[in-house]
């Protein structure tokens, strides 16, 4: 049996890099994507490497980023632009292998085991991928190559930006075992503290520990990290991985208690997630609404439906009912909508007014085509327009 060749591609500071590519004046400057006004609420989506030198990182509140980097260039998220760049990049991947597992817009696993007879070694394939992304999309990527997914992903993060790291059976102990335990896939801050508390500071320490004691202390997670510390990860690359959920949330610049504004925001969120749902040729059977109050108390409510839906009107009706069922009038800091229990094909159902639903579906698809072409919604529901 051939040893697998897995490549992990991770684009470098993707959103910020796209903006720097499209505006040469931004090159070399600290670019922070998340919102044009860092004095308002928001979260950093991506920071350029120039911004990271000041301690700015993704998921950081914009206000904190502004404290650390007041001279940075702050820009809103332009998802349509990033999606177009991502589509081009993934088309390049498909030239080399059909076994492409997308993790996000800017990250993927490629199984090139069967491609080596056509394109050469995994290193040659990876070099060609980097060159084509550079020439065709004018963006940089970091590459990790190994014989399983865990090691390939770990490798791609070791020498960013523009990293190119190979972890093989020959250099596994030398490269991997000295790394800190937080590098193990699945080890978060809490588990890192627990591991350090019992004297396990490196991946090599985990590998030297007793499997019995790890399982006794951490259960299945102990067994998981023990296997990874020995370079064991048998998970296959799964192409065209279906999303488990589609969601979006927004944080208000000021706390909101006006129901009309909250309803309008809810509709805008529904329009966005339903567009993405249809764009993925999916239907959903579960709707979740999230509310975070000014005091930071966060609540989620969800409903599971008897049939599959993907139209704004249907989704908004369910989301509005959920919202009204638990909103108590307090000022709201954040509101979100998530669709789950996704299906790639709608089940056949006998509908009394099927022709009416077909008209609504056709109208929604026409609006989707306009949005896809122009990068923004041109047809919106009146419910989603906020009053002055």
Count CB neighbours of 41 within 10 A: 18
DSSP 180: B
Half-sphere CA count of 239, side-chain side, radius 13 A:
10
Retrieve residue 14's tokens.
């993707």
Angle at 230 between CA 229 and CA 232, to 5 degrees: 100
CA 68 to chain centre: 25
- As annotated, the active-site residues are 107
- Token match 């190994």: residue? 146
297 Cβ contact list (under 8 Å, min separation 6): none
- Token match 């993704």: residue? 58
Residues 321 and 315: their CA atoms lie apart, in Å, by 10
Retrieve residue 10's tokens.
């991770």
Query: What burial class does residue 132 get, using C-beta atoms within 10 Å of its C-beta: 0-12 exposed, 13-18 middle, 19+ buried?
Result: middle
Residues 89 and 104: their CA atoms lie apart, in Å, by 12
Residues 237 and 91: their CA atoms lie apart, in Å, by 17
Residues 7 and 105: their CA atoms lie apart, in Å, by 16
233 Cβ contact list (under 8 Å, min separation 6): 148, 149, 150, 151, 227
What are the start-end ranges of the H helices in the chain?
Answer: 14-22, 49-52, 62-68, 79-94, 116-119, 122-137, 149-156, 172-176, 189-197, 203-208, 211-218, 220-229, 259-279, 312-326, 354-374
Query: What burial class does residue 261 get, using C-beta atoms within 10 Å of its C-beta: 0-12 exposed, 13-18 middle, 19+ buried?
Result: middle
Nearest to 142 by CA among 165, 122, 118: 165
Half-sphere CA count of 120, side-chain side, radius 13 A:
7
């Amino acid at each position: 049996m051939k040893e697998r060749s897995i490549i992990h591609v991770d684009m470098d500071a993707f959103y910020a890099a796209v903006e720097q590519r499209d505006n040469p004046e931004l090159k070399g400057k600290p670019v922070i994507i998340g919102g044009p006004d860092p004095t308002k609420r928001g979260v950093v989506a991506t920071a350029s490497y120039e911004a990271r030198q000041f301690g700015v990182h993704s998921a950081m509140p914009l206000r904190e980023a502004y404290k650390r980097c007041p001279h940075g260039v702050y820009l809103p998220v332009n998802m349509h632009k990033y999606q177009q760049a991502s589509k081009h990049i993934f088309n390049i991947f498909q030239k080399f292998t059909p076994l492409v597992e997308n993790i996000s817009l800017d990250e993927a696993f490629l199984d090139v085991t069967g491609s080596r007879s056509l394109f050469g070694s995994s290193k040659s394939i990876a070099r060609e991928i980097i060159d084509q992304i550079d020439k065709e999309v004018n963006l940089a990527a970091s590459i990790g190559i190994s014989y399983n997914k865990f090691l390939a992903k770990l490798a791609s993060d070791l020498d960013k930006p523009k990293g190119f790291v190979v972890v093989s059976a020959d250099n596994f102990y030398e490269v991997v075992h000295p790394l800190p335990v937080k590098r193990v896939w699945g080890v978060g801050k809490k588990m890192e503290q627990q591991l350090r508390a019992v004297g396990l500071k490196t991946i090599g320490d985990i590998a030297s520990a007793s499997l019995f004691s790890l399982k006794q202390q951490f259960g299945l997670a102990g067994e998981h990290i023990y296997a990874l510390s020995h370079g064991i990860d048998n998970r296959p690359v799964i192409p065209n991985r279906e999303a488990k959920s589609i969601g979006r949330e927004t944080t208000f610049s000021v706390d909101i208690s006006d129901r009309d504004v909250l309803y309008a925001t809810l509709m805008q969120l529904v329009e966005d997630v339903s567009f993405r749902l249809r764009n993925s040729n999916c239907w959903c059977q579960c709707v979740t609404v999230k509310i975070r109050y000014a005091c930071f108390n966060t609540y989620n409510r969800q409903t599971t439906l008897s049939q599959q839906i993907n139209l704004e009107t249907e989704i908004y009706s369910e989301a509005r009912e959920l919202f009204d069922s638990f909103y108590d009038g307090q000022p709201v800091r954040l509101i979100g909508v998530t669709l789950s229990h996704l299906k790639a094909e709608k089940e056949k159902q006998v509908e009394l007014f099927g022709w009416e639903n077909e008209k609504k579906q056709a109208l929604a698809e026409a609006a989707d085509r306009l949005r896809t072409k122009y990068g923004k919604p041109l047809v919106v529901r009146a419910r989603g327009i906020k009053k002055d």
